Structure 1
Amino acid sequence: MENKMGRALLYSVLCLLAFYYLLPLYVMLITSVKELDEIRSGNLLSFPLFISFDAWSKAWSSSCTGVECHGLSSYFFNSVKMVVPSVLISTTLGAINGYVLAKWRFKGSEIIFAMILFGVFMPFQVLLLPMAQTLGWLGIASSTTGLVFVHVVCGLASTTLFFRNYYVGIPDELIKAARLDGAGFWRIFFKIILPMSTPIIMVTLIWQFTNIWNDFLFGVVFSAGDSQPITVGLNNLANTSTSVKEYNVDMAAAIIAALPTIMVYVFAGKYFVRGLTAGAVKG
């Protein structure tokens, strides 16, 4: 009896916390499908009398983001072009770095790992000036390629840490046995290590995707014009002065900007949790 009461109390608390956490999303969603007149006269939490997706259409294709009124569509695809290569490259390099530092230790490898680990805790603000100079030297400033470069470099510390800590838990005997059988560095990596890496790969992909998609600092500093990501476009839309403040368009735009990360966690969240419990953050 006590066990049932305790479980009921636990579920009640969890439901209450879930409601509290999801309430802002609910307000954003119902506001985005209301007409402006209903927003001004109705209750913030009330369900819309008439559902309209005009605000979504306007946010996507015709809302003003500064002096131009082309919506968020171009910014959205800029983020896609930036996020996909950034995530894939940083994850791949992190896996190789973690493999080397965990299973092919060499003189000074612990010092190198400590220096990489220091990069996890370094504030990104201190990187703005040297990174801007580097992008200028490479000739990729204010471009999507430049943003990809920035996110790959800044993400390497985290991805290396994730993979290194995960690979430490793989028995060294597997590597030694493969080397005795004549397998080399890359064959061991692709045939033994990589097939065992699915949990940490999912953790890293989700982590990197979320961080890069939601980034505003690098987007606003290192992009311009046609290369600006969705976070910069959303900021421009929200701060554009108009005669009438269209709250429904602002809410629709915010949901459009957040939708990819929401979808990732809805469909791949269980893999993220499994990856963490499989040793992704072991010390």
Structure 2
Amino acid sequence: MKPVPRGPNPRSLTPGRIGLYIFLVSAVVFFTLPLWIMLTTSLKTMDEIRSGGIFALPTHLDFSAWKTAWSSACMGSECTGVRFGFWNSVKITVPSVVISVLFGAVNGYALSFWNMRFSKLMFALLMLGAFVPYQVFLYPLVRAMAELSLYNTLPGIIAVHVLFGLPLVTLLFRNYFASVPSELFRAARVDGAGFWRIFGEIMLPMAVPMLVVASIFQFTGIWNDFLLGLVFAGRDNLPMTIQLNNIVNTTTGQRFYNVNMAATILTALVPLAIYFLSGRWFVRGIADGAVKG
């Protein structure tokens, strides 16, 4: 009996596999190097920053820059740190994410299963709005918000984020619900279930992975936003990104690089934590239909 020829060992280091490893390691170094520089610089004193190498480890851990960045870093004449911007970002982001994801889920569900009149036209117009640059809408929105007494208010900036987030969230949920077997919807209709009962008891529980994906997309986009917050939030509701910009660009004497780096990490810490904690759900939601359709 002739032995069955075996293919190459999948664990063997072929030239292609070695090239793949080199590419992956290079990508990891490329994306983690800025974080390494920011982290090590934030833990150094200014004397050590001026005398040492940019990639060198701190001789001893100094968290004073983090304390300054959080509570007493200067933005012009105000020295209050980024803590107020953090809570402003929370007050803006959380309701914006909840409202836009809920409305987007309802829109995607309606456009997937309910043959409404002009539904395709409405979806096309909604998607068209997603590709128009923000700058085109700024002046009309400013005038509209001013007429409604919402300009430079917390409800106003929340409404703006909801409006700009609806097209993407609707697209995600529409594609997800389109992958659900239509027989499930028809069976519920035969049993007498209506629009909201089918949505609340059948479709929404099935869409938990997509809820996570849409929430992550919305959360990171709104938390990292600069332009809309600068235009619509108002002085009392400036988000963390704008306060970070004000801290970095404030020049009164010497520039404190350790404080700037600490403030930058503090601003990016919440989105990074969300990605790390919900990565499994994010990948599952993408695989279950985020890019279908």
TM-score, normalization by structure 2 = 0.94
Amino acid at match of 2:33: L
Q: Deviations over 1:13-62 (max 9, x none)?
A: 31221012100000000000000000001000000001100000000000
2:188 and 2:292 mapped to 1: Cα distance? Answer: 25
1:219 positional shift = 0.9
- Cα separation, 1, equivalents of 2:233 and 2:123: 31
Question: Are 1:202 and 2:195 an aligned pair?
Answer: no
| Residue aligned with 1:86, SS | helix
1:40 and 2:45 aligned: no
More helix by share: 1
- Secondary structure of 1:102's counterpart equals helix
Deviation at 1:149, TM superposition (A): 0.7
Out of 5, 13, 21, the residue aligned to residue 13 of structure 2 is 5
Partner of residue 217, structure 1:
227
AA aligned to 1:161 is: L
Aligned to 2:139: 129
Cross-structure match for 2:161: 151
Matched, 1:105 2:106: no
| Secondary structure, aligned partner of 2:13 | helix
Gaps of at least 5 residues in structure 1 are: none
Displacement after TM superposition at 1:101 (Å): 0.5
Task: Determine the structure 2 residue equivalent to 1:70.
Answer: 80
* 2:89 is the counterpart of 1:89: no
- The residue aligned with 1:114 is 124
Cα distance between partner residues in 1 of 2:285 and 2:266: 28
Q: Describe the superposition over 1:117-148 as per-residue Cα deviations: whole angstroms up to 9, x where unpaired.
A: 11221111111011111211221211221110
CA RMSD across the alignment: 1.2
The separation in 1 between residues aligned to 2:205 and 2:159, in whole angstroms, is 28
Aligned-pair distance for 1:171? 1.4
With 85-94 and 9-18 compared, the bigger mean Cα shift is at 9-18
Find the partner of 2:198 among 176, 182, 188: 188
Structure 2 counterpart of 1:38, one-letter code: E
Matched, 1:29 2:39: yes
Give the superposition deviation at 1:224: 2.4
- Deviation for aligned residue 1:9: 4.5
Matched-pair identity in %: 48
Deviation at 1:11, TM superposition (A): 3.1
Moved over 3 A (4+): 6-9
- CA deviation after TM superposition for structure 1 residue 94, in Å: 0.1
* 1:14 partner SS: helix
CA distance in 2, matches of 1:104, 1:49: 64
Moved more, 181-190 or 34-43: 181-190
CA distance in 1, matches of 2:148, 2:90: 23
What secondary structure is seen at the aligned counterpart in 2 of 1:84?
A: helix
In the alignment, does 2:68 pair up with 1:58? yes
2:179 to 147, 159, 169: 169
- Gap runs ≥5 in structure 2: 1-7
In 1: Cα distance, 2:115 partner to 2:32 partner? 46
Give the structure 1 partner of residue 267 of structure 2.
257
Matches of 2:292 and 2:189, distance apart in 1? 26
* Greater displacement, 121-130 / 3-12: 3-12
Aligned residues: 283
Q: 1:114 corresponds to which letter in structure 2? A: A
